[in-house]
Structure 1
Amino acid sequence: MSPQPLRVALIEEPASPPATALGYVDAADEDENENGATLQVARCLARAGHQVDVFTRRDDPDAPAVVDVRPGLRRLHMTAGPARCVTKQALLAHLPEFSRSMQRLFARSVRYDVVHANGLLSGLAALRLKEGFGMPLVMSLDVRRPPAQDAETFASERIDIERRLVAHADRLVAECAHDKAELMRLYRAPPRAIATVPRGVDTDELAPASRSEARRTLGLADDEFVVLQLGRLAPGKGIDNVIRAIAQLPSAARVRLLVVGGASRAPDERATPEIARLRRLAAQCGVASRITFVGRRRRAELAALYNACDVFVTTPWHQALGITALEAMACGTPVVGSAVGGIASSVVDGVTGYLVAPHDPDALAERLAHLRAHPELARALGRAGLRRVRSRFSLERVAEALIDIYEAVRWRAHEAHQAHDRHRLRLVGRAGGRAQEAHA
């Protein structure tokens, strides 16, 4: 624990349209939904004795200005544009008002020791606070470049903003080794300016449980080999890859693929067109009867899904945070994932699961068949994954790492202020000496 409690201003990335409206699983998408994770880490910081204020944009007209979440933790809603969810492009236009709302509050409140911004738009607001109040800035920045079809409408502005954030942040936080390498490659960020802190998992909320009970809850047969795919339903998520791999498993095998996600609780092809495309692919591959589209599920329902399956699969084409892989590991479930981004840092190949190339259904099918044939091995991989999450990826571990970063930037800011004061006093002294000489 820090020897002296910290006052932390944690700026949460303003929400664009809800994740569920875009086909995400509530609070479980590995690319977009940061808000739940931000609040979870803030709770850990507050439990450690620090005062944390989480700032976010008001997107609900009925939300109170201040919410006391728990002792030491408040959530503050800043007025910036209409009190509803808007697109990221629209959010960019409302950021000046968001920043002004925070500046007015900062001018009236106790000084914070550090400002920690999560995400691009939050960072832009935090820069103005750093400039106006001189507080050190810690910046968590995702600089992954999505495929062309997923690129944001303000992609060119994003690069300019990221360049400013990298140049002016007192400390950059990367979630995995790949993210650190991207910060260095794209923006020439010095390695010493970057700390690697992974996304944390709530190991109380997600933990091993009885597989039989989880299957009874979900209506699954005990003798099926269940594969789980959970997250956003989009072409780049590689669900095609999983369907093609399932098609290569023996036709006599009792295999069930659960595809969880979408814009509605019941799988709806109109609300989530990707479901229709994947169903056509499953029919072409002759495995439509083996695949169940579950629809969107609440966060409270995820533990049962992770515990019910024999293996969790996530094979996106491009860089991903890998949070769903960690969540599965927290439940003692082995993972087969793409060797990309955070997944490559989360899954230890041959120890907690397996890594495969993103576009290789043959390799994926081979790993699934091997785990199906060797259930003891699958359980051993799951136990190793559980140990890895608890030792390196728990929310408590993440909070400890962040506290170390906050202490370091606070100390450097204190030293810089003292050096500035000493320099100013020397200048005053010299000016006084010259005045005395002139008077003599």
Structure 2
Amino acid sequence: MNPLNQTVKTSTFNASQGTAKKSTPISQRLGSRNRQPIALISIHGDPDVDIGREEAGGQNVYVRQVGEALAKLGWQVDMFTRKIHANQPTIVQHSPYCRTIRLSAGPLEYIPRDELFEYLPEFVTAFQNFQAKEGTNYPLVHTNYWLSAWVGLQLKKHHNVQLVHTYHSLGKVKYQAVSHRPSIADTRLAIEQQILEQSNTVIATSPQEEEVLRYLVSQNGHISVIPCGTNLENFHVISKPEARLKLGLDPQKPIILYVGRFDPRKGIETLVRACHQYQTTTNASFKLIIAGGSDPNKTDGQERQRIEDLVNELGLTEQTCFPGQLSHDILPLYYAAADVCVVPSHYEPFGLVAIEAMACGTPVIASNVGGLKFTVIPEETGLLVPPQDINGFADAINRILTDDVWTQKLRKQASVRVSENFSWVGVAIRLSDLYRRILAESIMDERLLPLSRSITASEITTIPVTNPTRKVS
């Protein structure tokens, strides 16, 4: 059975749920500026949530930062996500031309992403009802993650929008690293192939991700390499003594830092065991800070408890602290206070934490996987180690913490690399140029159909996989 032909729930938009504030039609809000509206869709990655919570990480940052930067370049940016609480505002205005819009699709509660697929038709219906209410159409849609890709493919099929996609995570890679494949796996893999073959272009955030897509997903379709970025106004070099003083940390003791979600694939266990080995081998004193949010009732809370149990088992309780979720106001201080930031992920398409840390002048030890091989330059901004290599991470930690002269050189080169290559402004400029080219090409395409028909509930079905005709550009 084709995994894309399974039955899914359908419904219509529930207008009675209302909004937190009345939405002004785009035509009135823009006035004479006549900005081009575009939609960024991130169904499970709300751009307006605190980073570090369950399923809130790099994707949320990417969508929010790209959206705000594109608005500054002249676009009207609407970022669509799924509403999960009744008390969440439906519309959050971040700037005059950038906002988050939460649509109702399924129950108003948190649902794990592997269980969201059946509610996607409701999201499509809510999206087009919102368009009708606003009196506008989005000629270009940029989707994020495979769930949003399905929505984008529906919109492209019925409205002929121009479609851009960023994966953020790839099923082919994920399922190679887990012992149990979820029931949605085949559907996800089919959609990830379809979005590459049928979108106008897929954004790979590193050359390494492009190679993986070609090797594991499809040789067909268009790929544009545009990296992620970081907010250089927020993440910048701060003196280590100043940062430690503000955080109340020991000014002398070496600090090893991890920042991110609690997820087995993030490799936190590898880091903890490497720190234990480093201590056993050198008898050195250090502080391990494992920063990230958690909910005891969800998977990341369970993983945090597992890591805390491991810390206790290895006798690292006194050396380790869990500060919890850190706001972006305080996070740069933690990066600056650390002697090294460790990113031990089993796989990362890009790895925002690495460039945030480097922007603050902190060397990075990262797994030699995915986009981390692009962001971290070995011997220049940090070190790369094979994933799950406890000995390798322990040796790398020892080297950075004991070679002061070399480490100071790493700190300077790390911040320079980020400032020259990974600003959100630079990322947005490249995306903006890409969008404009795609829209210009669509105007010249005589085969374009008029954007005149709405999708009815009966038409919202899964899209069958077809044999692509477009070849690699």
* TM-score category of the 2 structures, normalised to the smaller one: 0.7 to 0.9
The partner residue of 1:160 within 168, 183, 190 is 190
Instruction: Compute the displacement of 1:26 (Å).
Output: 4.3
Q: Which moved more, 1:393-402 or 1:365-374?
A: 365-374
Relative to the length of structure 2, the TM-score reads 0.78
Instruction: Compute the displacement of 1:65 (Å).
Output: 4.0
Asked if 1:365 is matched to 2:387, the reply is no
Which residue in 2 is equivalent to 1:46?
71
**Residue 187 and residue 360 in structure 1: after superposition, are their counterparts in 2 closer, same or farther (change >3 A)?**
closer
The partner residue of 1:9 within 39, 47, 59 is 39
d(CA) in 2 for partners of 1:284, 1:370: 26
Instruction: Compute the displacement of 1:404 (Å).
Output: 1.6
Tell whether the 8 Å contact from 1:13 to 1:34 is kept in structure 2 after alignment: no
CA deviations over 1:153-205 (Å, ceiling 9, x no partner): 411111122222122201111122232122212332447x1011222211112
Which residue in 2 is equivalent to 1:345?
374
The partner residue of 1:98 within 101, 119, 123 is 123
The partner residue of 1:57 within 68, 71, 82 is 82
d(CA) in 2 for partners of 1:75, 1:274: 30
Please give the secondary structure, in 1, of the residue aligned with 2:79.
strand
Tell whether the 8 Å contact from 1:313 to 1:335 is kept in structure 2 after alignment: yes
d(CA) in 1 for partners of 2:115, 2:95: 32
After TM superposition, the structure 1 = structure 2 runs for residues 280-291 of structure 1, keeping only pairs within 5 Å, are: 280-282=309-311, 285-291=314-320
Please give the secondary structure, in 2, of the residue aligned with 1:103.
helix
Which residue in 1 is equivalent to 2:29?
none
Tell whether the 8 Å contact from 1:15 to 1:85 is kept in structure 2 after alignment: no
Asked if 1:220 is matched to 2:249, the reply is yes
Instruction: Compute the displacement of 1:5 (Å).
Output: 5.2
Give the residue type in structure 1 aligned to 2:242. E
Give the residue type in structure 1 aligned to 2:148. S
Tell whether the 8 Å contact from 1:123 to 1:139 is kept in structure 2 after alignment: yes
**Residue 418 and residue 25 in structure 1: after superposition, are their counterparts in 2 closer, same or farther (change >3 A)?**
closer
**Residue 66 and residue 222 in structure 1: after superposition, are their counterparts in 2 closer, same or farther (change >3 A)?**
closer
User: Which structure has greater helix proportion?
Assistant: 1
d(CA) in 2 for partners of 1:237, 1:414: 44
d(CA) in 2 for partners of 1:271, 1:42: 27
Give the residue type in structure 2 aligned to 1:135. V
d(CA) in 2 for partners of 1:284, 1:318: 26
Which residue in 2 is equivalent to 1:127?
153
Asked if 1:263 is matched to 2:288, the reply is no
Instruction: Compute the displacement of 1:321 (Å).
Output: 3.3
Tell whether the 8 Å contact from 1:242 to 1:315 is kept in structure 2 after alignment: yes
d(CA) in 2 for partners of 1:63, 1:55: 14
Q: Which moved more, 1:57-66 or 1:389-398?
A: 57-66
Which residue in 2 is equivalent to 1:327?
356
**Residue 413 and residue 210 in structure 1: after superposition, are their counterparts in 2 closer, same or farther (change >3 A)?**
same
Asked if 1:406 is matched to 2:432, the reply is no
d(CA) in 2 for partners of 1:14, 1:273: 20
Please give the secondary structure, in 1, of the residue aligned with 2:116.
helix
Please give the secondary structure, in 1, of the residue aligned with 2:74.
coil
CA deviations over 1:234-274 (Å, ceiling 9, x no partner): 3332223323332334555332211223525xx99998344
Give the residue type in structure 2 aligned to 1:25. G
d(CA) in 1 for partners of 2:105, 2:406: 53
Gaps of 5+ in 1: 422-440
Gaps of 5+ in 2: 1-33, 451-473
Greater C-alpha radius of gyration: 1
d(CA) in 1 for partners of 2:218, 2:382: 33
Tell whether the 8 Å contact from 2:160 to 2:449 is kept in structure 1 after alignment: no
Please give the secondary structure, in 1, of the residue aligned with 2:329.
helix
The partner residue of 1:77 within 102, 120, 125 is 102
Which residue in 1 is equivalent to 2:212?
182
Give the residue type in structure 2 aligned to 1:263. S
Which residue in 2 is equivalent to 1:432?
none
Instruction: Compute the displacement of 1:392 (Å).
Output: 1.5
d(CA) in 1 for partners of 2:349, 2:190: 22
Please give the secondary structure, in 1, of the residue aligned with 2:164.
strand
Tell whether the 8 Å contact from 1:339 to 1:355 is kept in structure 2 after alignment: yes
Tell whether the 8 Å contact from 2:196 to 2:220 is kept in structure 1 after alignment: no
Instruction: Compute the displacement of 1:75 (Å).
Output: 2.5
Which residue in 1 is equivalent to 2:325?
296
Which residue in 2 is equivalent to 1:114?
140
Relative to the length of structure 1, the TM-score reads 0.83
d(CA) in 2 for partners of 1:36, 1:270: 21
Identity %: 28
